Amino acid sequence: MRGLQDARRDPRAPDGGLSPLPGCAAPAVAIPCGRFAPSPTGPLHFGSLVAALASFLDARARGGHWRVRIEDLDRPRVIPGMASDHLRTLERFGLHWDDDVLYQSHGAERYAVALRQLERAGWLYPCICSRSDIAQAGLAGAEGYRYPGTCRTRSGSATDSAAWRVRVEAAPIEWPDLVQGPQRHALDALCGDFVLRRADGIITYQLAVVIDDAIQGVDRVVRGADLITSTPRQIHLQRLLGLPTPAYVHVPLALDRQGDKLAKRLGAAAVAAAEPVPLLCRALAFLGQSLPPEAPRLGRDTLLGWAIQHWDVGRIPRGQGWPAPPLPNVADSPEM
Ligand SMILES: [Zn+2]
C-alpha cells in the first residue's frame, strides 16, 4: 500500500510528484478556475442559483475560468432533457461558461483508470453488505450509519458484482474552509470506508468529483454547505491519487420555511421563468454581497460586472443556511 505521505505530493511540484491521471496534467501556468456541477435530476432552484452565482463570481473576480459539468452518473435518477434546461437557465442569467461542458456519463474510462490505480495500491476492497447489514451493526456516523468494516479482509477482483470501498484512516483530515472556517473531520467516525463503485457498477459522486475537478483544473470549489462532509472524503481520494487539493468555499444553503434544504420541489420553476435581475439581486444579498442602490434597474450583464468587481468571499455569512428570501414572480408558490 502506498503511503499517504507519498500520495500527498503535488503533481504540479517541481519534482513532478506522482504520475497524474490521464487528462489531469496541470498547465505550466495555473489559471484560476471554478466550476458549477448540477445534477440533472430536477430543475435548478434558488439554492442552485446561489451556488452557481457564487462560483461564477469567485472565478471571474480572480480572473479565472468558470467551467460547467453535468453530474449525470446516477442514470436511474436523471430526467431526460434536464441538463439542457440547466444550461439554458445559466445562459438566461448571464452565467456563461468556458470550454465544453463535461458530462460525467461520458467519463467511464477516466473513472476506471482511477479505480485501477487505487486497487493496485491496495486501497480498495469488495463489499457485499446490504444497507440492513450496516444498520444492524449500529455504528452512528455523521450521515446515518457508518460502515463497520465488515468486508475489510475480503479478497476479490474488480469483476465481482460487489460494491467497492476505499479504506479510510483514523487521522482527521483538516482544511481551512474560506467561509466556514477551519475544518477537522475523521473519516472513520464520519462514514467509515466508503463506496467508490456501487454493486450495480455506477461510480459514486465522491470519486467522480475528485477526478473531474482535477481534469477541469479547478483550484477553488465553491458549493453548498450541505456538501461539507463530502470534502474530507474527496481530500482523502485526492491524496491517494496524487491530485492537488483545491481550496474550498462552502456557502450557506437556501432553506425553506421548515428549515429543510430548498431542493428541487421548491421555487424551481420560478428560477427558470423569473426575470434574471431581481433574482440575481436576491442571490447577491443572500451571499452577503453589497449592492448599489440602483441594482434593480441595472441590466443583467452590468449587474454581473459590478458584482464581479465587488466580489468579496469574506462577506459571505458563515453558517449552514437559512430561509431563502421571498422570490419574485412566485407569489403563487404555496411553499414560499
Ligand atoms: Zn461489506
**Does 129 appear as a known binding residue?**
yes
- Going from the C-alpha of 70 to that of each of 35, 266, 270, the distances in angstroms are 11, 21, 21
Q: How far is the CA of 131 from the centre of ligand 1 (A)?
A: 9
Stated pTM of the model? 0.88
Complete domains list, the chain, with CATH = 31-104+252-336 (3.40.50.620)
**Does 35 appear as a known binding residue?**
yes
Q: How far is the CA of 151 from the centre of ligand 1 (A)?
A: 4
Q: How far is the CA of 149 from the centre of ligand 1 (A)?
A: 6
Letter for the amino acid at 292? P
Q: How far is the CA of 6 from the centre of ligand 1 (A)?
A: 28
**Does 130 appear as a known binding residue?**
no
**Does 39 appear as a known binding residue?**
yes
**Does 223 appear as a known binding residue?**
yes
Q: How far is the CA of 121 from the centre of ligand 1 (A)?
A: 20
| Residue from 128, 137, 125 nearest 167 by CA | 125
**Please, what is the Cα angle at 235 between 232 and 237, to 5 degrees?**
110
**Does 37 appear as a known binding residue?**
yes
Give dist(CA 232, CA 190) in Å, integer: 9
**What is the full per-residue pLDDT of the chain (336 aa) written as tens digits?**
333 333 333 333 333 333 456 666 555 678 999 999 999 998 898 999 999 999 999 999 999 999 999 999 999 999 999 999 999 999 999 999 999 999 999 999 999 999 999 999 999 999 999 999 999 999 999 888 999 999 998 776 655 679 999 999 999 999 999 999 999 999 999 999 999 999 999 999 999 999 999 999 999 999 999 999 999 999 999 999 999 999 999 999 988 777 777 765 555 556 877 889 999 999 999 999 999 999 999 999 999 999 999 999 999 999 888 888 776 544 333 333
Q: Give how far the C-alpha of residue 265 lies from the chain's centroid of Cα atoms, to the nearest Å.
A: 20
Q: How far is the CA of 41 from the centre of ligand 1 (A)?
A: 28
Q: How far is the CA of 272 from the centre of ligand 1 (A)?
A: 42
Q: How far is the CA of 5 from the centre of ligand 1 (A)?
A: 27
Q: Where are the alpha helices (DSSP H) in 121-225?
A: 131-137, 187-190, 205-215
